[in-house]
Amino acid sequence: MVSQDELESIHEASLTVLEEIGLNFLLPEAREMLAKAGADVDPSGSRVRFDRGFIDEMLSTVPSEFTLHARNPAHNVTLGGNRFAICSVASAPNYSDMEFGRRRGDFAGYKDLMRLVQYFNICHLPGGYPVEPVDIPTPMRHIEAGVAAMELTDKVLYAYSLGRDRVLDMLEVTKLARGIDDATLEQETSLWSVINANSPLQYDIPMLWGIIELSSRNQAICITPFTLSGAMAPVTIPGALVQQNAEALAGIAFTQVVRPGAPVIYGGFTSNVDMKSGSPAFGTPEAVQATMISGQLARRYSIPFRASNVNASNAPDAQATYEAQMSIWACMLGHVNLMMHGLGWIEGGLCASFEKFIIDAEMLQMAAELMQPPVINADTLGLDAIREVGPGGHYFAAQQTLARYENAFYDPILSDWRNFETWEEDGAKTATERAHLLYKQILADFKPPALQEERREALHAFMAKRESEGGAPMQ
Amino acid sequence: MVSQDELESIHEASLTVLEEIGLNFLLPEAREMLAKAGADVDPSGSRVRFDRGFIDEMLSTVPSEFTLHARNPAHNVTLGGNRFAICSVASAPNYSDMEFGRRRGDFAGYKDLMRLVQYFNICHLPGGYPVEPVDIPTPMRHIEAGVAAMELTDKVLYAYSLGRDRVLDMLEVTKLARGIDDATLEQETSLWSVINANSPLQYDIPMLWGIIELSSRNQAICITPFTLSGAMAPVTIPGALVQQNAEALAGIAFTQVVRPGAPVIYGGFTSNVDMKSGSPAFGTPEAVQATMISGQLARRYSIPFRASNVNASNAPDAQATYEAQMSIWACMLGHVNLMMHGLGWIEGGLCASFEKFIIDAEMLQMAAELMQPPVINADTLGLDAIREVGPGGHYFAAQQTLARYENAFYDPILSDWRNFETWEEDGAKTATERAHLLYKQILADFKPPALQEERREALHAFMAKRESEGGAPMQ
């Protein structure tokens, strides 16, 4: 998307921001650690400045690739290089389907969405709560949701960085679900958390505790500035990227201060706002450019790159679909390693849609198929078949066709390729209506993955113990 | 999508097809011309074989770039290089909107769709009849539709190659609409036609007349094999491309036999069928790969490249949208010069949808915006704005924002970025429902472009004359 020189000018400008303006780190313990490591910490406030040498040194220990371990090793996820992993929608306060409409997040919706997370192979891991289960009181919400995730899926677990106690609880849930001790957990990264900068140029206390508790134990951090161009970042995309990059590098540097070599992901979330209303916009041309340039930056630093499958539509309709496609292609062309909100997100993240989850599954399966390089050899070039059929014939009965037809092409789960008359007789259902039926059927047929009985008991015993202690205090 | 070596192996295999198997050219006059030019013509049948030297020689005279002249020079379209021109849907037998449903093509629908062709700048030219006006008897259909196109738009005219007489009539309509003589027409390419191979490996009589009549007058031909992998072409995408390329090169070579230097476009339309039903599929992962490789082939020969914005959905829904997006991205990444069926196509081409026309307009405007390279300079890097706002602030009132906010970002015509509550109060309309209202409004407000009175009279006089002669005979 930009030349090497242009990329360097973004990089250089962000180093100037780090050196000259710096960021606010609101947690005193984090500032202390940064001062000790050699950053320039304002003794009378929260400002921290970073010189170029410091940033270079911190970047030198970041792993270019690492593995997140699931309780089922078949669902381990390696991030970096040419790998492309996909998460479900995360943190939506509402969820919807076209029958019951839009609901406040609850545990029932959370569990149904987790079942879809488990069902689809193209959904490699959940990206947090697909919908916030607000009917579980906050002191126990993280534990109950975490245990339910481990009962409904055997994929990688996620922790919200909403205070130390919650992170420590989730470390415990992870160990119990995997049946491992502290030493193994430290060797096998198994838990991860997204850390958002409070843009512009600020890291808040719970986020910094998340980095300290997780990075120190070699668990994974996904640093993600939320730089909406025109609102929390400059109104130009290059300017927003300068700020994003400064914030990302500061956060990434802090993970390496906490523990050199700690696994960390470079997250890009630069989009723009609608300048008429201030509403955030997603899947825009500007956001595609920003994602592709962010990918160039992450590759420059050899850090696994995260972006998202996002849209601003209020329904799982054509707008949700084209904005999502713009996002998906941006991820492919931006060489993303971790796509967040891959399945189910609508409304700029304010709602998880069941129908959109299915539409996304189809779109992402198509993307995965597309990324398989075509095989060009004497057999696929098909001269024998062309000789066999000759001018004016057809290939339905050609030997090559008979040998290959079963797996020749991508087989869709949602697309309906029947002719109009057949489709009309069958109820003339739109893709969104078919997605509705499909998700209902998947939930009706769902069988949870096996979980060893002693692990389930240990998880429930931990949950009961923490409940008796009152759970985690409000933060 | 494929390496240079892999591309050469496709090219080489297609030359083997041309040399060893050849194609059927069903028109004796075409075979005569080919024989005279040095091709190997079977004296007892319709088969024509082409050796490598012959193909190389014919390719050497193909222009890498040319301009199609419209009656309004502002709407001239240059094809080749880095240029990207977009046509409306063409040749649909039906049309639909969500209110009246699906109708057999008629003149009223044709004219309404032509109004949309004129309205949208992103629709650079019509791609033929957006819908077939079947209520006009065939002897006069091409003339009445052509004259209506010239009254409702001032964009480039199209001719169907459905026999010599029709092509000659359309040459006349073109001259009268532009107010030019034969010599100017020959200097300024103004009319074009798509020539489909009757795959596999056959060119039919009307198509060959189209090439003869148009290429001989320096008008443009878009050679497009219709190679559906598994049906009219091998079940492997590389094999289908070998056949597509052989058919395309044979057709392109024939244009140069007719007139060296005649403008011609390399068309790719390789997709796959659903092997369960035989239905054609569009916007599939395989089709994206095929389009990107076709673009590599066309660039290898320095010939302007045509592909399409296609889908197989029966409604302007999420499926139509994601399949179209796959097609649009394939065109962008395949370096397309001419996108056919850019706006309005659904149902694998069997229907033109008014709502889809609007959805496509939005998607293509976004694509055009995306293809504008970002400007990276001291001003856009925004250090001054970042200094001005600092940590914890916001950019709504920053100087840079105030100076740029009006044109900072792409401004959508269909996307609704309002919050859920506002959107719901306003009727909770999906993108397709909003597209419906938008197209109705555009038609209600439509003002046709100016057409000099003497040209209009000349067109109508010609129409009356041809009507009195009974129009063009059935072919």
Q: What is the pLDDT of residues B303-360, one digit of tens each?
A: 999 999 999 999 999 999 999 999 999 999 999 999 999 999 999 999 999 999 999 9
pLDDT at residue number B92: 98
Contact A227, A269 (CB under 8 A): yes
Is the model's pLDDT at B15 over the cut of 90?
yes
Spatial separation of the C-alpha atoms in residues A201 and A217, rounded to whole Å: 26
Contact B48, B41 (CB under 8 A): yes
Q: Looking at the complex, report in whole angstroms how far the Cα of residue A201 sits from the nearest Cα belonging to chain B.
A: 5
Under 8 Å CB pairs connecting chains A and B tally to 381
pLDDT at residue number B430: 98
Nearest to A374 among B1, B387, B395 (CB): B1
Beta-bridge partner residues of B400: none
Nearest to A318 among B243, B316, B389 (CB): B316
Name the pLDDT band for B475 (thresholds 50, 70, 90).
low
| Closest among B325, B318, B251 to B284, alpha carbons compared | B325
Is the model's pLDDT at A376 over the cut of 90?
yes
Nearest 10 degrees: CA dihedral of B135, B137, B143, B149? 10
Q: For residue A245, which residues of chain B lie inside 8 Å, CB to CB? A: none
Spatial separation of the C-alpha atoms in residues B59 and B260, rounded to whole Å: 9
> Mean per-residue pLDDT for A250-279?
96
Report helix, strand or coil for A297: helix
Q: For residue B418, which residues of chain A lie inside 8 Å, CB to CB? A: 277, 279, 314
Q: Looking at the complex, report in whole angstroms how far the Cα of residue A447 sits from the nearest Cα belonging to chain B.
A: 29
Query: Searching chain A, which residue's CA lies closest to the CA of residue B271?
Result: A409
CA distances from residue A22 to A333, B11, B93 in whole angstroms, order as listed: 31, 56, 63
Q: What is the pLDDT of residues A283-300, one digit of tens each?
A: 999 999 999 999 999 999
Spatial separation of the C-alpha atoms in residues B261 and B378, rounded to whole Å: 47
Name the pLDDT band for A276 (thresholds 50, 70, 90).
confident
Helical segments of B99-222, H only: 107-119, 138-152, 164-178, 182-187, 205-215
Give the length of chain B.
475
Spatial separation of the C-alpha atoms in residues A9 and A200, rounded to whole Å: 20
Q: How far is CA A28 from the centre of its chain?
A: 30
pLDDT at residue number B275: 87
Spatial separation of the C-alpha atoms in residues A340 and A192, rounded to whole Å: 13
Q: What is the pLDDT of residues A38-72, one digit of tens each?
A: 999 999 999 999 999 999 999 999 999 999 999 99
Q: What is the pLDDT of residues A96-149, one digit of tens each?
A: 999 999 999 999 999 999 999 999 999 999 999 999 999 999 999 999 999 999
Taking an 8 Å cut-off on Cβ atoms, the answer to whether A415 and B24 are in contact is: no
Q: What is the pLDDT of residues B265-283, one digit of tens each?
A: 999 999 999 988 889 999 9
Q: What is the pLDDT of residues B131-187, one digit of tens each?
A: 999 999 999 999 999 999 999 999 999 999 999 999 999 999 999 999 999 999 999
pTM tops 0.95, yes or no: yes
Sign of CA dihedral B226, B59, B76, B216: negative
Mean pLDDT score of chain A, rounded to an integer? 97
Nearest to B370 among A278, A288, A359 (CB): A288
Taking an 8 Å cut-off on Cβ atoms, the answer to whether A200 and B391 are in contact is: yes
Query: Searching chain B, which residue's CA lies closest to the CA of residue A237?
Result: B380
Q: What is the pLDDT of residues B437-456, one digit of tens each?
A: 999 999 999 999 999 999 99
Spatial separation of the C-alpha atoms in residues A13 and A274, rounded to whole Å: 26
Q: Looking at the complex, report in whole angstroms how far the Cα of residue B352 sits from the nearest Cα belonging to chain A.
A: 13
Spatial separation of the C-alpha atoms in residues B337 and B455, rounded to whole Å: 31
Spatial separation of the C-alpha atoms in residues A295 and A10, rounded to whole Å: 13
Query: Searching chain A, which residue's CA lies closest to the CA of residue B229?
Result: A395
Written as six digits, the tokens of A356 are 């959109």
Q: For residue A362, which residues of chain B lie inside 8 Å, CB to CB? A: 322
pLDDT at residue number A277: 87
Written as six digits, the tokens of A316 are 């799982």
Query: Searching chain A, which residue's CA lies closest to the CA of residue B314?
Result: A420
Q: For residue A392, which residues of chain B lie inside 8 Å, CB to CB? A: 24, 198, 200-202
Spatial separation of the C-alpha atoms in residues B460 and B471, rounded to whole Å: 14
Report helix, strand or coil for B421: helix
| Closest among B253, B232, B255 to B244, alpha carbons compared | B232
Written as six digits, the tokens of A244 are 């994003």
Taking an 8 Å cut-off on Cβ atoms, the answer to whether B21 and A391 are in contact is: yes
Spatial separation of the C-alpha atoms in residues B303 and B294, rounded to whole Å: 11
Name the pLDDT band for B10 (thresholds 50, 70, 90).
very high
Nearest to B318 among A20, A200, A359 (CB): A359
Q: What is the pLDDT of residues B52-76, one digit of tens each?
A: 999 999 999 999 999 999 999 999 9
| Closest among B317, B240, B246 to B280, alpha carbons compared | B240
Q: For residue A247, which residues of chain B lie inside 8 Å, CB to CB? A: none
Is the model's pLDDT at A475 over the cut of 70?
no
Taking an 8 Å cut-off on Cβ atoms, the answer to whether B286 and A229 are in contact is: no
Nearest 5 degrees, angle CA B429-CA B324-CA B426?
10
Taking an 8 Å cut-off on Cβ atoms, the answer to whether A275 and B419 are in contact is: no
Q: Is the peptide bond preceding residue A316 cis, with omega within 30 degrees of 0? A: no
Q: For residue A96, which residues of chain B lie inside 8 Å, CB to CB? A: none
Mean pLDDT score of chain B, rounded to an integer? 97
Nearest 5 degrees, angle CA A21-CA A24-CA A28?
135
Beta-bridge partner residues of A79: A66
Taking an 8 Å cut-off on Cβ atoms, the answer to whether B350 and A376 are in contact is: no
Is the model's pLDDT at A474 over the cut of 80?
no
Q: For residue A279, which residues of chain B lie inside 8 Å, CB to CB? A: 417-419
Contact B105, B136 (CB under 8 A): no
Written as six digits, the tokens of A10 are 């973004």
pLDDT at residue number A454: 98
Q: Looking at the complex, report in whole angstroms how far the Cα of residue A261 sits from the nearest Cα belonging to chain B.
A: 28
Q: How far is CA B287 from the centre of its chain?
A: 16
Write down all domains in chain A, each with its CATH number in brackets. 4-59 (no CATH), 65-370 (3.20.20.480), 378-407 (no CATH)
pLDDT at residue number B277: 87
Taking an 8 Å cut-off on Cβ atoms, the answer to whether B316 and A319 are in contact is: no
Taking an 8 Å cut-off on Cβ atoms, the answer to whether A242 and B386 are in contact is: yes
Q: What is the pLDDT of residues B357-387, one digit of tens each?
A: 999 999 999 999 999 999 999 999 999 999 9
Query: Searching chain A, which residue's CA lies closest to the CA of residue B25?
Result: A391
Spatial separation of the C-alpha atoms in residues A96 and B324, rounded to whole Å: 26
pLDDT at residue number A275: 87
Taking an 8 Å cut-off on Cβ atoms, the answer to whether A234 and B382 are in contact is: yes
Sign of CA dihedral A434, A437, A442, A445: negative
Residues sharing a CB contact under 8 Å with residue B407, sequence separation 6 or more, in sequence order: none
Query: Searching chain A, which residue's CA lies closest to the CA of residue B373?
Result: A1
Taking an 8 Å cut-off on Cβ atoms, the answer to whether B383 and A13 are in contact is: yes
Taking an 8 Å cut-off on Cβ atoms, the answer to whether B376 and A9 are in contact is: yes
Give this complex's ipTM.
0.97
CA distances from residue A147 to A159, A177, A344, A433, B250 in whole angstroms, order as listed: 12, 8, 22, 32, 65
Burial (CB count within 10 angstroms: exposed 0-12, middle 13-18, buried 19+), residue A441: exposed
Contact B14, B246 (CB under 8 A): yes
Q: What is the pLDDT of residues A326-363, one digit of tens each?
A: 999 999 999 999 999 999 999 999 999 999 999 999 99
Taking an 8 Å cut-off on Cβ atoms, the answer to whether B430 and A281 are in contact is: no
Spatial separation of the C-alpha atoms in residues A179 and A419, rounded to whole Å: 53
| Closest among A111, A27, A37, A124 to A74, alpha carbons compared | A124
**Residue B199 burial (CB count, 10 A):** 26
Q: Looking at the complex, report in whole angstroms how far the Cα of residue A455 sits from the nearest Cα belonging to chain B.
A: 42
Residues sharing a CB contact under 8 Å with residue B36, sequence separation 6 or more, in sequence order: none
